[in-house]
Amino acid sequence: MNLSVAEENYIKSIYKLQEGDEAVSTNALAYELDTKPASVTDMAKKLKEKKLIEYEKYQGIVLSSDGRKAALQIVRRHRLWECFLVDKLLFSWEEVHELAEELEHVRSEKLTNRLSEFLGNPVLDPHGDPIPDANGKLAKPRPQTSLDQTNAKRLVVTAVTDQSTALLAFLNAKGIKLGTQLEILAHYEYDNSIEIKLKQQPAITISEQVAKHIMVRPV
């Protein structure tokens, strides 16, 4: 099915906002896409005609099975391009999102599948998000918890839940990325900050605000 860039962006955003089977409100979608609710309503009518969403006025938007398939393919392309940019072209993880936003609209299935093969069919992108396979199946994520909630001492970083440039640049500066192993030295009750140690580096203290966005699992 031929979709415009705008239509693809809408479908991807609905997928992102839709928790389980819950409908996405037009206001939430307008906020996510930084557009007016009236524009969302117009687009919803188009997507409904193409049978990509189920939509009734005042009842929100739900992806149809075709819509979900289309969304997963866009997500697949986006996350594979992120892997390529980080692993092969050595972009840092805070630079890749905007580039992948453009590259995800290159729709060649042949290119996407070759890209996946070239990368060794990765199941996670550079931020730890799962990459759908060619059939739209997502790998089951292994159990993980946020750094501020963990009880274990020795950990490995598995994902980052806030992908803002500011946080990713901060983590880069501290030498923290996916797969980084760290040890918790102390948990300070006063402000919930955490003292951590990375290999061959002096100990550093990070705030609760940062720690809650770093997902980890025990080593």
pLDDT digits (tens, 9 = 90+) for 49-62: 999 999 988 889 99
What pairing do the DSSP bridges indicate for beta strands 194-198 and 61-63? unpaired
Number of domains in the chain: 2
List, for residues 202-219, the tens digit of each pLDDT value. Answer: 999 999 999 999 999 999
pLDDT (0 to 100) of residue 126: 86
19-22 contact pairs (CB < 8 A, 24+) = 21/62, 22/60, 22/62
Evaluate whether residue 41 is within a structural domain. yes
Structure tokens at 50: 């193409």
Residue-number span of the structural domain to which 23 is assigned: 5-63
Reported confidence tier of residue 14, pLDDT bands at 50, 70, 90: very high
Picking from 43, 63, 83, the residue at the C-terminal end of a domain is 63
Structure tokens at 32: 């996510």
Evaluate whether residue 73 is within a structural domain. no
Evaluate whether residue 81 is within a structural domain. no
Reported confidence tier of residue 143, pLDDT bands at 50, 70, 90: confident
Statement: residue 1 has pLDDT above 80: no
